[in-house]
Amino acid sequence: MSDFDVVIVGGGIAGASLGAEIAHKRRTLILEAEDHCGFHSTGRSAAFWLESYGGPKVALLTSASRSFLEQPPADFVDHGLLHRRGALHLSREGWADLPNGVESKRLERGEIERLVPGIREEWRHAVLEPGCADIDVASLHSAYLRLFKRGGGEVANGARLTGAQRTEGRWSLSLADGASLQASLLIDAAGAWADPVAEMCGARPLGVAPKRRTMVQLRVGRRGLRELPLIDDADGTFYFKGEGDCSVWLSPHDEITTGPCDAAPEEIDIAIAIDRFEQVVDWPIERVERSWAGLRSFAPDRLPVYGFDPGQPGFFWCAGQGGFGIQSAPAAAKLAASALLGDPLDPALAHIDPALFAPGRFSPSAATSSAV
Ligand SMILES: Cc1cc2nc3c(=O)[nH]c(=O)nc-3n(C[C@H](O)[C@H](O)[C@H](O)COP(=O)(O)OP(=O)(O)OC[C@H]3O[C@@H](n4cnc5c(N)ncnc54)[C@H](O)[C@@H]3O)c2cc1C
């Protein structure tokens, strides 16, 4: 079992969803360094679907993923993967700007108080985005892995890629445990490790930069919070949403540059999160129930990268999903699969230009031609 059409490096949501789209057409292997897929960013997200997030180009992918997440095919998973909660974008002055086409409504102070009892006086404006929903990330990820395997795909866990050479149109790949295998195409879905994997394969790194984000599960002296909307501010300094009856998931919206690693929360970021939370509501804080951190990896223009590398044949990018990799996965996987296999794009995605996300946008010739 050492000869494949396609090897995917990384078994997070990016590798699993793209793998599920291609496994029935190409003999495909997912290589995952950790003992289980989803150990890194995919297992650490805040799990929301927020159409306005990431700007208008990301919103194309997020919006196009909605119907699949809302009503997935019965043979994929037997329940919907979205649970609607709505989002409130708060501001002290003015109103948050949302991309065109995103359903939203401006709220006055009275309505804000009704939705968030105990909100501090200074938060006078809010834009309600009613479509925001929680995503059942674990079910989505495991359903993609199941579909991948049903299509004939194989998953190797504890299998870290450590070396790659391309000769005569084939990859010779070596793993940390000394095993080796061959493949025609290699997909880089390595999340925070996307650039190191590219370098290992002789491709020019694109500058995909991991940024640490902290999450805190906070117990507060207030009940009835489970269905609380996702609440953030227009300046991007915090967000929180209801978790349990008396608890919230809170983030200081941090974005700390780091190397690829098993990210852990820092005390200072937890303290900043709590301080910012206290400036929003007057709810007594009882304790931190748990905290975690994960990496959101961004290309220099903060758009994802799907497509063949312009300089290294047989090397395909599926990286840079930043803070939107779960909510955009269904559409992104279809778009990437069509670029990989040369198949026509799903008609439901016909309005999306794959060139927006192609890695060629970073090549020096693209820079020259756009500068002319
Ligand atoms: C705190 C936080 C909150 C977030 N909230 C949201 C949200 O609400 N909604 C949303 O849509 N997105 C959210 N995101 C973003 C989302 O989690 C990511 O965009 C997504 O999980 C990225 O998926 P991935 O498969 O690219 O990366 P990962 O899940 O990190 O998978 C990459 C995998 O590659 C493997 N790998 C790396 N190098 C090698 C190698 N050499 N050999 C073999 N395997 C290798 C790693 O072990 C890893 O498992 C959040 C992220 C964080 C950190």
**Cβ of residue 88 lying under 6 Å from some atom of ligand 1:** no
Asked if residues 226 and 337 have their Cβ atoms less than 8 Å apart, the reply is: no
Spans in the chain with pLDDT lower than 50: 369-372
Establish whether residue 308 lines the binding site of ligand 1, counting it when its CB lies within 6 angstroms of any ligand atom.
no
Q: Does residue 230 have its Cβ closer than 6 Å to ligand 1?
A: no
Residue 353 pLDDT: 97
| Contact call for residues 237 and 253 (beta carbons, < 8 A) | yes
pLDDT at 365: 74
Three-state DSSP at 278 gives helix
CA of 7 to the centre of ligand 1 (A): 18
346 lines ligand 1 (CB under 6 A): no
Q: Is the CB of 46 under 6 A from ligand 1?
A: yes
What confidence score (pLDDT) does residue 367 get?
A: 52
Please tell me the distance between residue 45's alpha carbon and the centre of ligand 1 in angstroms. 8
User: Ligand 1: which of 326, 327, 328 to mutate, most ligand atoms within 8 Å of CB?
Assistant: 326
Q: Which of 116, 129, 127 is nearest to 225 (CA)?
A: 116
Q: Give CA–CA dist 261/166, Å, rounded.
A: 27
Q: Is 273 in the pocket of ligand 1 (CB under 6 A)?
A: no
Q: What is the pTM for the complete model shown? A: 0.97
Going from the Cα of 34 to the center of ligand 1, the distance in angstroms, rounded, reads 12
Contacts by residues 341-349 (CB-CB < 8 Å, ≥ 24 positions apart): 341/22, 341/25, 341/26, 348/64, 349/64
Which residues, 6 or more positions from 285, have their beta carbon under 8 angstroms from its beta carbon? 218, 219, 220, 221, 274, 277, 278
Question: What's the pLDDT score for residue 364?
Answer: 76
pLDDT at 369: 46
Ligand 1 contacts CB of residue 63 (under 6 A): no
